[in-house]
């Protein structure tokens, strides 16, 4: 491909791109195009029509740009969007997209950095509400990451692996995430996905005790599996340390009373995690 685009095209597309990314105005209570902020040169380049001026024609593209990207974030973070409300989420999303405009052909990628941005953008004046939204965005992100994760077969240990088990490190399946909820947010998320007509959701009450879950993708779809708190801790430690080291760390974090049953429980949890296909390999390089 030898031909280069004419220089004026780059300038034209820079002006048009700036117009597309002009933030929508929220002052009226609905999202409207701020046409007065458009580059006058671009408006002069476009033709007026009897029913709408050039800026109003350009505004169609401006609105489409924002609503398309908002809809990707709404789809990627459905629980957070319904708890927070689309209007409030869009305000955070607009700031995020201004700071991180889409750069690749995969539109889904725009959501990749949303969770850390969202965490930094939350109002700290209402701690309970903030904690609930932080948990919500973690859960949404976990489901999203599991859906997009590489597909690898689960690790099925052989007898010959036994000698290396304590010194080796179990590598978590890419399509596995461990999350904890203090309110019944996973069930709420499932209910919301089943009924897209629900635009807003009430925050569920606090659970008597937090519940941990493994979210894992199967051939038949993504499932959530309830796990005990210490089991979740073990799975998380196993993903970061050698098996022997993880077991030591778990033991040291337990109470004396818990330690009595720990060996039997650890064996059962380890066996279950392998049976459920939570690992993809045993790393032996230390």
Partner 1 sequence: MAFSPEQAECLRRARGLAPDALGLGLRVPHYEYVLEHAPQVDYFEVISENFFGPAPTPRARLERVRARYPVVLHGVGLNLLGHAPLDNRYLDALARLADAVDAPFVSDHLCWTGAHGVSHHDLLPTPYVPELVELAAERAHEVQRRLGRPFAIENLSSYVEFRASTLSEWEFYAAVVRESGCWSLFDINNVYVSSQNHGFDADVYLAAIDYSRVLEVHLAGHTREQDGTLVDTHDHPVANSVWALYARAWRMGGPFPTMLEWDARIPPLPEVLAELEKAREARQ
Query: Which residues make up the interface to partner 1 (CB under 8 A)?
Result: 1-6, 9-10, 12-14, 16-17, 20-21, 44-47, 49, 51-52, 54, 56-58, 60-61, 64-65, 68-69, 101-109, 147-151, 217, 219
Q: Which two tokens stand for residue 111?
A: 């959501």
- Minimal distance, residue 178 CB to partner 1, in Å: 20
Residue 157: phi, psi to the nearest 5? -65, 145
Rounded to a whole number of angstroms, the minimum distance from the CB of residue 116 to partner 1 is 19
Of residues 2 and 125, the one with the C-beta less far from partner 1: 2
Q: How far is CA 218 from CA 32, 197, 282, in A?
A: 42, 27, 20
- Shorter beta-carbon distance to partner 1: residue 107 or 131: 107
Q: Which of 169, 173, 161, 171 is nearest to 223 (CA)?
A: 173
| Nearer to partner 1 among residue 38 and residue 269 (C-beta) | 38
- Compare residues 269 and 278 and give the one whose CB is closer to partner 1: 278
The answer to whether 101 touches 68, Cβ cutoff 8 Å, is no
Among candidate residues 113, 34, 37, 42, the one with its CA nearest the CA of residue 72: 113
Integer CA distances (angstroms), 34 to 8, 15, 192, in order: 26, 15, 33
At closest approach, how far in Å is the CB of 57 from partner 1?
4
Least distance to partner 1, CB of residue 156, Å = 20
| Tokens encoding 119 | 């965490």
Q: How near is the Cβ of 65 to partner 1 at its closest, in Å?
A: 6
Cβ proximity to partner 1, 150 vs 257, nearer residue: 150
């Amino acid at each position: 491909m030898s031909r280069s685009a004419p220089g004026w095209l780059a300038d034209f597309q820079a002006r048009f791109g700036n117009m597309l990314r002009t933030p929508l105005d929220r002052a009226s209570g609905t999202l409207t195009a701020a046409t007065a902020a458009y580059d006058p040169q671009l408006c002069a380049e476009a033709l007026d029509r009897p029913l709408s001026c050039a800026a109003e024609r350009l505004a169609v593209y401006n609105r489409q740009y924002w609503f398309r990207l908002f809809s990707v974030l709404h789809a990627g973070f459905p629980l957070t969007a319904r708890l927070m409300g689309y209007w409030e989420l869009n305000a955070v999303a607009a700031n995020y997209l201004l700071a991180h405009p889409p750069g690749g052909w995969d539109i889904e990628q725009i959501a990749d950095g949303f969770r850390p941005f969202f965490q930094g953008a939350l109002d700290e004046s209402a701690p309970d509400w903030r904690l609930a939204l932080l948990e919500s965005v973690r859960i949404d992100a976990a489901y999203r990451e599991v859906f997009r994760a590489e597909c690898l077969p689960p690790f099925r240990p052989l007898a010959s692996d036994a000698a290396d088990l304590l010194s080796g490190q179990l590598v978590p399946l890419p399509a596995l995430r461990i999350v904890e909820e203090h309110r019944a947010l996973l069930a709420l998320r499932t209910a919301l996905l089943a009924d897209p007509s629900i635009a807003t959701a009430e925050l569920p009450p606090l659970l008597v005790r937090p519940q941990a879950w493994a979210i894992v993708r199967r051939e038949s779809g993504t499932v959530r599996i309830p796990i005990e708190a210490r089991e979740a801790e073990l799975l998380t430690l196993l993903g970061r340390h050698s098996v022997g080291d993880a077991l030591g760390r778990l033991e040291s974090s337990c109470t004396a009373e818990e330690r009595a049953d720990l060996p039997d429980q650890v064996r059962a949890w380890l066996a279950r995690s392998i049976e459920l296909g939570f690992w993809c390999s045993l790393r032996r390089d230390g």
